[in-house]
Structure 1
Amino acid sequence: MIGAGPTGLLLAGDLAAAGLRVTLVERRPPGISNLTRAFSVHARTLEQLDARGLADDLVATGTPVTDLRLFGRLALDLSRLPTRYPYLLLTPQYEVERLLERRASSAGVDFRYGTELRALRQDAGSVTAELADGTALRARHLVGADGSRSAVRTALGLPFPGASVIRSMVLADVRLAEEPGKLLTVTASEDAFAFIAPFGDGWYRVMGWDRTRQADDDEPVGLDEVREITRRALGSDLGMHDARWISRFHSDERQAPAYRSGRVFLAGDAAHVHSPAGGQGMNTGLQDAANLSWKLAAVLRGEARDPEALLDSYQAERHPVGATVLRSSGALVRLAMARTPLRRAARALATRLLGTLRPVAARAMGQISGIGIGYASGARRVPDEPLREGRLYEALREGEFVLIGPAGAPAPLPATAPVTPGRLIRAAWADPARRDTLLVRPDGYTTPLQG
């Protein structure tokens, strides 16, 4: 495994918890967190963390937000989401990494900090990673979760087509003398937009963009520039002061055409990057990891009926999701940047549709939160169903398939089921009136059983 950000940590922890030997390579020294713009955790990601016993600890570190206000007029009520976590959790990425790193360490992951990939080669039975410290690691499979400048993707010779969607965005963590009118606020004027979100501990994350100032990423940015952008977008800088971190960045829209090349896989930002609108970057990567981990575990433990087909299903299921996130996040940022009368009219129309048509709003919230995402394979997200034995997502903490059937009549496992009986948890519906049967994958998705 290359890359110890959230995606790599979740995937490594899953594989180690499944009893596999895992080495995780990270170029940063130990204890040095990523300085990144990620700070939002969506409902589907919280469900995945719940299936690993981590969601409650993470929720305790942040601020749940149910009211998302866009462009000054559109309010999306996240409390309507049909999930145990009907909100957006605002918490710094380092809190996510802290919990996932602790889990991975406890599961036995071998961390190799302070080095990076220099080259890799594959043969019929293995892949070898040559590291900058002179060591070589040989494994049956390798995953590149090493970010947008992925050394793994480069070593594979895979393209990363796309373009920059927005330049010279600024980020700052500040204190405010005045609280914003709404907990989560995105507002745009003709030449600027700003986003303000609370961390819940007195600090606020400010993200802003000024059409009239398009600077390179390495050009210094000060608090005065952040104040000016915020005043132009919101009408006030809310008395911001005491910035603890300020940065300038650009945002690309890119996606690798293939998430798999032989025995090597890409996940997270190594596979796709997009605008920060909607806060879907880290969340999409974590859900990549949840999709891939159980498939790799089944193949490496010799339990997959068709190993190649199972591994190929990672590309088939997750690549379309990455493409959709590129489109939706790109549409949001382009609406925020709207300058021409035509684009501003399109923004007004989108705002009106989302604000007045509940099915449209529900679909948008399902997409952004992740709980509305399904796969062309027919796999659909299963909510946290009540069972006689507890909750479904508590049962999923074993990392195995869960077969749920009527109480008192255990359902037989069809011969076509993609799991061996020894790797199966049996459970019964808490509702005695339910007579259906579901086979739930370790990532919380299912397809109808066939005899």
Structure 2
Amino acid sequence: MSLPETTEVLIVGAGPTGLACALTLYKEGCRDITIVDAVEHGQNSSRALAIHAATLEVLDSIGCARSLIEAGATHRTMKVWNIGDDHGATLADFGPLKSSTRYPFVLIIPQTITERVLGDHVQSIGIQVLRPFKVVGVQSDKHDKNHTSVFFEGGQTVKARYVIGCDGAKSAIRQAAGVDFKDPLEERSTTDHNLDQIVLGDVTYTKPLPRLFDDPLFMLSPTNLFLSVPFPYNEGDANRTYRVVCGVPPSSGPPPSQPGKAFLQDLVDNSGMNTVSSKVHGPSNVTINEVIWSSRFRTHSSIADTFFKRLEGDQGGAVIFIGDAAHIHPPAGGQGMNLGLRDAISLGPILAARLRSSSSDDSPLRSWADRRRQQGVTIIHLTKTILGLASVQNGGIVWMWNTVPLPILRSTVRSWSLWILAKSTWLQSQVAWRLSGLGNK
């Protein structure tokens, strides 16, 4: 299909955030919506895996929660295991959230399935995603300053009243609009260098794993973090797939762009449990069988200076940023896609009301942008805190108020913390509350 010459709303990016944005706008009465994506279907590389309670609630408002739950697997707990002293605990117990939500669990569902479900809903309302159309520039329209001209690599131009950038961390829309993208908490980084670079892979194993691996499991070694998340399991599957995530120490150099079986197994051997180590020999030995997909990334955080901008003062063309185009952060706790979906679905009613109004007042959109940016900063702080707690090193020393050294190893503090967490169901429910997003919708 070809691009239209004009549209009321142009959504750039057809990942979960862009699709949810289209569904919300349609629900609110908007009909002139165009969605474009720079790549062919199925070539997007982002692989989010978790959907939390607050996100399921807003997805229910656009009729998608049930379909997603049916396609995924629900988990009421997340586990943590300290490899140093061979001790484990429940990290997060979502069960007590039942008094606050209909969704007292974390939904594990591959992003490819999330996109398929949302894409099916978008198709059902008659909207087609136009591919592959790559944006190369934006500016206020020469003949109508209240509209934005969006230029594409193939020479096409689309004029839109509102342009919504859902086109990822390297957003062409954000860059063309001249909006800065930096870490709001750079001076208060809580991570260490061992988690600056992370690899992830979707793998199968040579044998079924112990029941401990049936829920998301954080494994803490003296100098690293290893995460295992089970994919939804279908009867008849020969092997269950697991997402594995692990830090790569700087001393090891940069990891390959697509880590292979040997590279991932080496990380498992050095940072995971003996249960899945190739160094342990015997009849019960389990190792990686196949790598289905893998990637690498750096654990940096950035947020756009503003989520809403007019290109030429108060009267220029309007651009809006949501999802990874607006904020990125470390993957701890599975927050990224959740925040983007809540950006999209919260934007719908406000933008739809603005489209129906003859007023030139942008204050509702600016207020929305300020709220969403603050919520993004909150998530960045949360994910940095989680990584900071996970990345304590065996030789590290505890500092009080960042100035007074205490004669206690940080690894000892971590062991104490896990012991307390194992005993406190209240703490487990509080961790679940923070991860659920119910306090930061």
Q: If the TM-score is normalised by the length of the shorter chain, which range does it land in?
A: 0.7 to 0.9
Is the Cα–Cα contact under 8 Å of residues 116 and 132 in structure 1 kept in the other structure?
A: yes
**1:22 to 1:167, Cα distance in 2 relative to 1, 3 A:** same
- Distance of 2:36 and 2:255 partners within structure 1: 27
Report deviation, 1:140: 1.1
Contact 1:127 1:141 in 2 (8 A): yes
Q: Determine which of 341, 360, 365 is the counterpart of 1:286.
A: 341
Aligned 8 A contact 2:224 2:246 in 1 = yes
Which consecutive segments of 4 or more residues in structure 1 shift more than 6 A? none
Instruction: Choose 277-286 or 353-362, whichever is displaced more.
Output: 353-362
Letter in 1 for 2:135: L
Comparing 139-148 with 124-133, which one deviates more in the overlay? 124-133
Counterpart Cα distance in 2 of 1:293 and 1:258: 18
C-alpha contact (below 8 Å) 2:203/2:244 kept by paired residues = yes
Q: Partner residue of 1:23?
A: 34
Any idea what the Cα deviations from partners look like across 1:295-328, whole Å, max 9, x if unmatched? 111111228x884221112112211110011011
Q: For structure 2, list consecutive stretches of 5 or more residues without a partner in the other structure.
A: 1-10, 83-87, 234-239, 277-285, 311-317, 399-409
TM-score of the superposition, structure 1-length normalised?
Answer: 0.77
Structure 2 CA distance for partners of 1:119 and 1:212, relative to 1, 3 Å: closer
The aligned residue for residue 257 of structure 1 is 305
Task: Supply the AA of the counterpart residue of 2:66.
Answer: D
Go from structure 1 to structure 2 and tell me whether the alpha carbon gap of 1:66 and 1:119 turns closer, same or farther (over 3 Å shift): same
Q: Secondary structure at the match of 2:254?
A: coil
Q: Which residue in 2 is equivalent to 1:140?
A: 161
Equivalent of 2:376, from 294, 318, 322? 322
Q: What is the CA-CA distance between 1:352 and the residue it aligns to?
A: 5.5
Pick which of 38-47 and 232-241 moved more: 232-241
- The structural deviation recorded for 1:100 is 1.2
What's the C-alpha RMSD, in Å, of the aligned pairs? 2.3
Report if aligned partners of 2:93, 2:429 keep a CA contact under 8 Å in 1: no
Instruction: Name the structure, 1 or 2, with higher relative contact order (CA <8 Å, separation 6+).
Output: 2
**Aligned with 2:178 (options 119, 139, 157):** 157
Q: Which residue of 1 aligns with 2:323?
A: 268
Identify which of 179, 184, 190 aligns with 2:209: 179
Q: Does 1:168 align with 2:197?
A: yes
Tell me: CA distance 1:344–1:327, structure 2 relative to 1, closer, same or farther (3 Å).
Answer: farther
Shift of residue 156, structure 1, vs aligned partner: 0.9
Q: Give the CA deviation at 1:56.
A: 1.7
Map 1:435-446 → 2, pairs under 5 A:
none
Contact in 1 for aligned 2:225/2:246 (Cα 8 Å): yes
Separation in structure 2 between the aligned mates of residue 266 and residue 228 of structure 1, nearest angstrom: 39
- Quick one: which of 77, 81, 104 aligns to 1:67? 77
Q: Does 1:370 align with 2:437?
A: yes
Report deviation, 1:360: 4.8
- For 1:229 and 1:308, locate their aligned partners in 2 and report how far apart those are by CA, in whole Å: 51
Q: Which residues of 2 match residues 40-189 of structure 1 at below 5 A?
A: 40-72=50-82, 73-75=88-90, 76-82=92-98, 83-122=101-140, 124-162=145-183, 166-176=195-205, 177-180=207-210, 181-182=212-213, 183-189=215-221
- Of residues 196, 201, 209, the one that matches 2:228 is 196
* Superimposed CA distance per residue, residues 250-276 of structure 1 (whole angstroms, 9 cap, x where no aligned partner): 222111121111211110001110001
For residue 81 of structure 1, give the secondary structure of its aligned residue in structure 2.
helix
1:193, 1:230 within 8 Å by CA — same for their partners in 2? no
2:260 alignment counterpart: 222
Identify which of 230, 233, 236 aligns with 2:275.
Answer: 236
What SS class does the counterpart of residue 331 from structure 2 fall into?
Answer: coil
Cα distance in 2, alignment partners of residues 216 and 313 from structure 1: 41
Amino acid at match of 1:91: I
Q: Which region of structure 1 is more displaced relative to structure 2, 283-292 or 154-163?
A: 154-163
Secondary structure in structure 2 of the residue aligned to 1:292: helix
Q: CA deviation at 1:351?
A: 4.1
Q: In the superposition, relative to structure 1, how do residues 74 and 320 fare at CA in structure 2: closer, same or farther (>3 Å)?
A: farther
> Equivalent residue for 2:85?
none
2:349 aligned with 1:338: no
The amino acid that maps onto 1:81 is L
Bigger drift between 339-348 and 36-45 goes to: 339-348
Q: What code does the residue aligned with 2:163 have? A: L
How many residues align? The count is: 372
Q: Is the 8 A contact 1:40 1:279 kept in 2?
A: yes
| Residues 1:5 and 2:15 are matched in the alignment | yes
Structure 2 CA distance for partners of 1:309 and 1:358, relative to 1, 3 Å: farther
Using the size of structure 2 for normalisation, the TM-score is: 0.78
Q: Which amino acid aligns with 2:203?
A: V
Q: Distance in 2 between matches of 1:370 and 1:126?
A: 35
Alpha-carbon offset, residue 36 of structure 1: 2.3
The structural deviation recorded for 1:19 is 3.0
Q: Which stretch shifts more, 361-370 or 199-208?
A: 361-370
Please give the per-residue CA displacement for 1:207-254, whole angstroms capped at 9, x wherever unaligned: 112326544355552212212222222223242212211222222211
Query: Which amino acid letter does the alignment assign opposite residue 244 of structure 2?
Result: V
Q: Is the 8 A contact 2:73 2:231 kept in 1?
A: yes
Residue of structure 1 in register with 2:332 after alignment? 277
**Aligned AA (1:47):** E
- Decide whether the 8 Å contact of 1:192 with 1:232 is kept in 2: no
Alignment of 1:290-309 (within 5 A): 290-302=345-357, 307-309=361-363
Between the aligned partners of 2:48 and 2:295, the Cα distance in structure 1 is: 13
